[in-house]
Structure 1
Amino acid sequence: MRISQLEGKRVALWGWGREGRAAFGVLQQRLPSLPLTLFCPETEAAAAREETGAALTVRSAVTGEALAAFDVVIKSPGISPYGEAALHAGAQGTQFIGGTSLWFAEQAAADGIVHDTVCVTGTKGKSTTTALLAHLLRASGARTGLIGNIGLPLLEVLAPQPAPQYWAVELSSYQTGEVARSGAHPQVAIVLNLFPEHLDWHGSEARYIEDKLQLVTGAAPRIAVLNAADPHLAGLSLPRSEIIWFNQPLGWHMRGDVVHRGEQPVFDTSHTPLPGRHNRGNLCAVLAAIEALGLDAVALAPRVQDFRPLPNRLQTIGTREGITYVNDSISTTPHASLAALECFAGHRIALLVGGHDRGLDWHDFVAHMAHDVPPVEIVTMGANGPRIHALLQPLADAGRFGLHAAADLPEAMQLAQAALGGQGGVVLLSPGAPSYGVYRDYVARGRHFAELAGFDPDAITAIPGIGIA
C-alpha cells in the first residue's frame, strides 16, 4: 500500500516510539488533512499530545473493537499482530501495516523491484552484517544508506535528496513480513541464520521461522543470498528468486581464517576488527551480495580492515585492574551467548546471563557447558535467571564451573568481579535474553554495564555509519 492510498480511509497509529513518530511525520507531510488517531500506553500519551497538539487524537485503551473502527492501522514493529486485539480487528476487516511496508511500496520501481537495495535478516549477526555491507559499498565510492532495524526507521529516510546509490536495510523478524505485504521485491535479500527467537511476539518457533523467511518466500527478491550451513535454509526452494549460497565450497566460504571464493583464497580475516568467528563468516554473505550487485567483491574484501564494530555487539569497552569488559547486550538468545563464549576461548571468563523470560529453551546452552570448555564462572540474573540457574546447577555441583545467582545487573557485576579473584580475565555481558521489564532496550542495558565497569556510556553507544553517506 502506497501512502496516497490512505487518503479517505480511517487511519490509526499504534505505538509512539520512534517508528510511530516517523509514520506520523510522513503522513502529516503527505496527507496533512487526514484525521489520525494514536493508540499508545498512558505513559506515552502525554508526550504524544504535547508533540502533536490537535493533529492527533490520542487514546490509551486498546481493544479489538476500538481498532476495528479503522480501515488501516499503522503499527510499530514491536507490537505483535497475533495479539487478541489485533486478531479481533483483523477479522472485521482492519488492515495492519507498518512503516516498513509503506517504505518499500514507495520505493518500488514499475517492475515492482526496489533496485539497488539489499535487505539483511537473521537471528544473530544481522546488524554487524548490514553495517559491514554499507561500509564496503561506501568503500567502492557509492553513496549508501544504512537504515532499518539498526536504529534508523525507514520512514525517516523516505525520499532523501540526493538519493543514495544503494540501500543497506536491516530487518527484524517483526519487519520481514511487512516487505512481503508491501508488494515490492528487494533486489537482494540476505538470510544469515535461524534460531528460536521472539517467541512471545510470534507465538511459536514455527511461526517465527515462517515470518522470518517471508523476506525470501513472500517478498520474492530478485536474488536471495542464503547460508548453506543453516539447516532451516539449506533445503529452501525459491522458484521466483535466484539463489546464491554462501558457506559452501563453490561459493564464498571460510577455510580456517581465510575467505575463499570457490577455490580462490581472497582475504585472511584473522586480524580484522570483526568480533567473533560468526561475524567473519557473515563477511562471505556480504561479499556474495556485493558481487550480486555487479561490484568487484574480491577487490573490496580487504577494506573490512577499516570497519568499526558496532556497540553492544561483542564490544570490548576497556580494561580496568586486569579485567576486560565486553558488552554483548544485544545478545537475546542462548545461541548468541554461545557464539560470544567462542570468541573468548582460552580466557578466564565470568559470563553474565539472564533477563526477560520469554520461554526460550536453554538446554542446548547447558549441553554446551557440559561438553565444551566452560567459562570460569557463570552469573545468572533477571527474570529467567532462576530457571537458567536450576538447569546449570548439576554441572556446577560436578565442578564444571562456578555458579552464582544475582537479582540484577549491578549485583551480577559485583559477583563476576569477585569470582575472577583479582587474577584478571573477561567479564562478558552476553545475557541471551531481552532487557524488557528492567531497561528500555538493550542499549540502555549496555550503557548501565559500561557505567558499572567505570566507563563513559556515551563513548560506547554511537552506531558508526548509520544514515546516508
Structure 2
Amino acid sequence: MRLAALAGRKVALWGWGREGRAAYHALRAREADWPLTLFCSPNEIDDARALGDGALQVETEATAEKLAAFDAVIKSPGISPYKPEARAATEHGTRFIGGTALWFGEHADAQGFVPNAVCVTGTKGKSTTTSLLAHLLRAGSHRTVLAGNIGLPLLEVLDPRPAPEFWAIELSSYQTRDVADSGARPQVAVVLNIFPEHLDWHGGEARYIEDKLALVTGARPRVAVLNAADPILGKLALPDSEIRWFNREDGWHLRGDALHRGDAFVLDTTRVPVPGRHNRSNLCAVLTAIEAMGLDAVPLAAAAESFRPLPNRLQTLGERDGIVYVNDSISTTPHASLAALDVFRDRRVALLVGGHDRGLDWHDFAERMRTQAPAVIVTMGANGPRIHDLLAPLAGEGGFQLAAADDLLSAMRKAESLLGGPGVVLLSPGAPSFGQYRDYVARGRHFAELAGFDPELISAIPGIGIA
C-alpha cells in the first residue's frame, strides 16, 4: 500500500516509539492537515502533544471498539496484530499496517519489485549480517542505506537524495509479514536461520515460523538466499523465486575457518573481526546476496577484515582484575546463549542467563550443560527460577557451579566470586529484557557500567544510515 492510498480514510497510529514517530512524520510530509488519532501510553502523551498538531488527537486506550472506528491503523512493530483487540477490529474491517509495508509500497516499480533492496532476517545474526552487507557494498564504492530493525526505521529514509544504489534492510519477525502485505517484492531476501523466538508476540512457534518465512513465501523475492545447513530452510521450495544456497559446497561456505566459493579458497575468516564461527558463516550469506544483486563478490570479501563489530553482540568490553567482560545482551533465545558459550569454550566462563519469560523451552540448553557447561552459571530475571530448577539436578554431573540472583548487579558479583580468579563474565541472557530494562541496549549499557566501563563508548551502531 502506498501512502497516497490512505488519503480520505480514517487513519490512526498505534505506538509512539521511534517507528511510530517516523510514521507520523511520513504522513505529515504528505498532508499537513490530515486528521490523525494516536494511541500511545500515558507517559508518551506529553511528548505527542508537544508537537502542537491541532489535527492530531491523542488517546491512551486502544480498545477493540476504538480501533474498529478506523479504516487503517499504522502500528509499531512491537504491537502484535494477534492481540484480541486487533483481531476484533480486523473482523470489523480495520486494516493494520506497519511502517515497513508503507515503505515497500512507496518503492515498488512497475513490475512490483523494489529495486536493489536486500532484506535480511533470521532468528540470530541478522544485525551483524545486514551491517556486514552494507560494509562490503560500500567497500565497493556503492552508496548504500543500512536501515530497518537495526535502529533506523525505513520511513525515516523514505526518499533520500541522492538516491542510494542499494538498500541493506534488517527485518525482525515483527516486520517480515509487512513486506508480504505491502504487495511489493524485494530483489533479494536473505534468511539465516530459524529458531523459536518471540512466541508471546506471535502466539506460538508455528506462527512465528510462518511469519518469519513470509519474507520469502509471501513476499516472493526475485532471489531467496537461504542457509542450506538450517533444517527448516533446507526443506523450502519457493516456486516464485530463484533460490541461492549458502553453507553448501557448490556455493559460499566455510571449511573450518577457510572461506570458499565452491572449491576455490577465498579468505581466512579468523581475520574477520566478528565473534564466533556462526557470524563468520553469515559472511557466506552476505557474499551470496551480493552475487544475487549482479556484483562480483570475490574481490569484496577481503573488505570484511575491516568491519567494525556491533555493540551488544558478543562484545568484549575489556578486562578488570583478570576478568574479561563480554556483553551479548542481544541474546534473547537459549540457542543464542549456546552459540555464545561455544565462542569461549576454551576459557573459564561465568554465564549470566535469564530475563523476561516468554515461555521458550530451555530443556535443550539444560541437556547441553551435561557435557558443555561453563565453569559457572548464574540465573536471574523472571524466568531465572525456571532455568535454575532445570539446571539444579545437572550441576554436579555437568561440573559447573550454579547460583541464583535477583538482578544484574547481584548476578555479576556472584559470577565474579564463583570464578575465583581470571576468566570471562559473559552476559548472554537468552531472554528479552522487558520488565527490568527498556530494551537490550539499556541492559547492555547497565552491564558495562557495572563492570566499570563507559556505556557511551559501547552503544553506537557503526555504519547506520546512508554512506
Q: For residue 31 of structure 2, what is the amino acid of its counterpart?
A: L
Inter-partner Cα distance in structure 1 for 2:43 and 2:231? 43
- Alpha-carbon deviation of 1:44? 1.4
Amino acid at match of 1:282: N
Residues 366-377 of structure 1 aligned to structure 2 (within 5 Å): 366-372=366-372, 374-377=373-376
How many angstroms apart in 1 are the aligned matches of 2:153 and 2:52?
Answer: 19
Letter in 2 for 1:400: G
Aligned to 2:326: 326
* Matched residue SS, 1:86: helix
CA drift of 1:52 comes to 4.3
SS where residue 286 of structure 1 aligns? Answer: helix
Query: 1: distance between equivalents of 2:179 and 2:53?
Result: 32
Q: Distance in 1 between matches of 2:451 and 2:74?
A: 40
| Aligned pairs (5 A) from 1:188-337 | 188-337=188-337
The CA distance in 1 between the partners of 2:198 and 2:433, in whole Å, is 12
| 1:311 CA displacement | 0.2
Corresponding position: 1:94 with 2:94: yes
**Cross-structure match for 1:47:** 47
2 CA distance for matches of 1:208 and 1:370?
29
How far, CA to CA, are the matches of 2:335 and 2:397 in structure 1? 23
Unaligned residue ranges in structure 1 (runs of 5+):
none
Tell me the equivalent position of 1:409.
408
CA displacement 1:146-174 (0-9 Å, x = unmatched)? 00000000000000000110000000000
Superposed CA offset, 1:294-313 (max 9, x none): 21211111110100000000
Q: Corresponding residue for 2:380?
A: 381
| SS, match of residue 398 in structure 1 | helix
Structure 1 Cα separation of the partners of residues 277 and 49 of structure 2: 47
1:112 corresponds to which letter in structure 2?
A: G
Residue 438 of structure 1 deviates from its aligned partner by 0.8
How many residues align structurally?
467
Question: Aligned with 1:270: secondary structure?
Answer: helix
> C-alpha deviations, 1:227-254, integer Å up to 9, x for none?
0111111110100000001111111111
1:56-95 CA-partner distances (Å, limit 9, x unpaired): 1011011101000000000000000000000000000000
Return 5+ residue gaps in structure 2 as ranges: none
Per-residue displacement from partner, 1:330-382 (whole Å, max 9, x unpaired)?
A: 0000000000000001100000000000000001101111132x110000000
CA distance in structure 2 between the aligned counterparts of 1:54 and 1:319, rounded to whole angstroms: 54
* Structure 2 partner of 1:453: 451
User: What CA distance in whole angstroms lies between the structure 2 residues aligned with 1:91 and 1:31?
Assistant: 29
User: Hey, what's the Cα distance between the residues in 2 that align with 1:420 and 1:55?
Assistant: 59
Give the TM-score normalised by structure 2: 0.99
| Distance in 1, Cα, partners of 2:263 & 2:89 | 55
Question: Contact (CA 8 Å) 2:226, 2:245: kept in 1 or not?
Answer: yes
Structure 1 residue 53, shift from structure 2 partner: 3.6
**Which residue of structure 1 aligns with residue 419 of structure 2?**
420
- Out of 428, 438, 441, the position equivalent to 1:440 is 438
Deviation string, structure 1 residues 186-216 (Cα, Å, up to 9, x no partner): 0000000000000000000000000000000
Deviations 1:260-307 (A, max 9, x none): 111111111012201111000000000000111121211111110100
| 2:415 partner amino acid | A
Question: What amino acid maps onto 1:19 in structure 2?
Answer: E
- Residue 84 of structure 2 corresponds to which residue in structure 1? 84
Task: Assess, with a 3 A threshold, how the Cα gap between structure 1 residues 52 and 404 changes in structure 2: closer, same or farther.
Answer: farther
Quote the Cα distance in structure 1 between the aligned partners of 2:414 and 2:50. 44
What is the letter of the counterpart of residue 161 of structure 2? Q
- Cα deviation, residue 51, structure 1: 2.9
For the residues of structure 2 that align with 1:451 and 1:53, how far apart are their CA atoms? 39
Question: What pairs up with 1:48-87 in 2 under 5 angstroms?
Answer: 48-87=48-87
Distance 2:17 2:283 in 1: 32
Identity of aligned pairs, percent?
A: 69
